[in-house]
Amino acid sequence: MADIVIQLLPHILAAVLYGALGFHFWNTRWRDGEHRAVAIPMQTWERSAIAAALLIHAGGLYSALFAEAGMRFSFSFALSLMMWLAVLIYWLESFMARMEGMQPMVLPLAAACAAAPVAFPQVHLVANAGATGFKLHFLAAMLAYSLLTLSALHAIFMGFTENALHKRTLTRSLASLPPLLTMEALLFKMLGLGFVLLTLAVGSGVFFSERLFGKPFAFDHKTLFAFASWGIFATLLIGRHAWGWRGKRALRWTMAGFALLVLAYIGSRFVAEVLLTR
């Protein structure tokens, strides 16, 4: 029992720290007050606190995923790792663009996902995890998931910002968010890189399935969702380049592609591990 608590402690600490920071940023950036239209830049200690949460979270994930018996994984670890990468990318972006108003949604989601392995501790050993090809495939897939997750969060923020601007209501949360054009540029940068990584992950899974997973490629519901998501993101990027798609159309396509991507792995693993207890 003590060993289990020690293993779960980093996940709990990371979730608590993410949650506390999320409340802090909501209180200082979104909560309406006397100076509600004044944006507050991110402070050095705030960046340091996020970095500390990322390090604790990373330590917990590494020790949980790479055990002596081999690599372990589950839908809860997929969620946790995906949000860790998303917060890391968002943290790096904060050095280049004004991102101080995005924390109140990103960090609470990170807190929930960091705590997911505590609520759903079921894991399974991953076959062929020692192969270099599998590690590259896994890295590409997780980076793609995290980038496209962050893209979906950006899309939500952009929709919120656009609606608020149309209503001509200047709240503190709106004043803290980056400019709409900056958010749109970041969105398509992340979508482009995420699409390249998703193409590598899907392509390697299809053409090198037997070498990576030890079995021939099989077209199942997971593959169908992955291909459908890839097609949506490809169409969106082509539409952006050829016809200048933006605004609500781009946001709808982003959310649709992300929803299918979540169903491709996390949804199927949740059904198998939690509902069907496989």
- Claim: this prediction has a pTM higher than 0.85: no
Identify the domain containing residue 83 by its residue range. 2-275
Instruction: Name the domain count of the chain.
Output: 1
3-state DSSP call for residue 60? helix
Cβ-contact 26, 104 below 8 angstroms = yes
Alpha helices (H) in 168-246, listed in sequence order: 172-176, 180-207, 209-213, 221-243
Write out pLDDT tens, residues 10-68.
999 999 999 999 999 888 877 766 555 556 778 899 999 999 999 999 999 888 777 66
Mean pLDDT of 99-115: 86
The single-letter DSSP state of residue 177 is S
Mean pLDDT of 77-93: 85
Q: What is the pLDDT of residue 144?
A: 87
Write out pLDDT tens, residues 194-245.
999 999 888 877 766 655 555 555 666 777 888 889 999 999 999 998 988 8
Write out pLDDT tens, residues 139-190.
788 888 888 888 888 888 788 777 777 776 656 666 666 777 777 888 898 8
Alpha helices (H) in the chain, listed in sequence order: 2-25, 44-65, 75-93, 103-114, 116-119, 132-167, 172-176, 180-207, 209-213, 221-243, 247-262, 268-270
Give me the percent of the chain exceeding a pLDDT of 70.
Answer: 76
Please give the Cα distance from 74 to 56 (Å, whole number): 20
Q: End-to-end distance of the chain based on CA atoms, in angstroms? A: 23
Residue entry with tokens 């839908």: 75
Q: Which two tokens stand for residue 210?
A: 């037997």
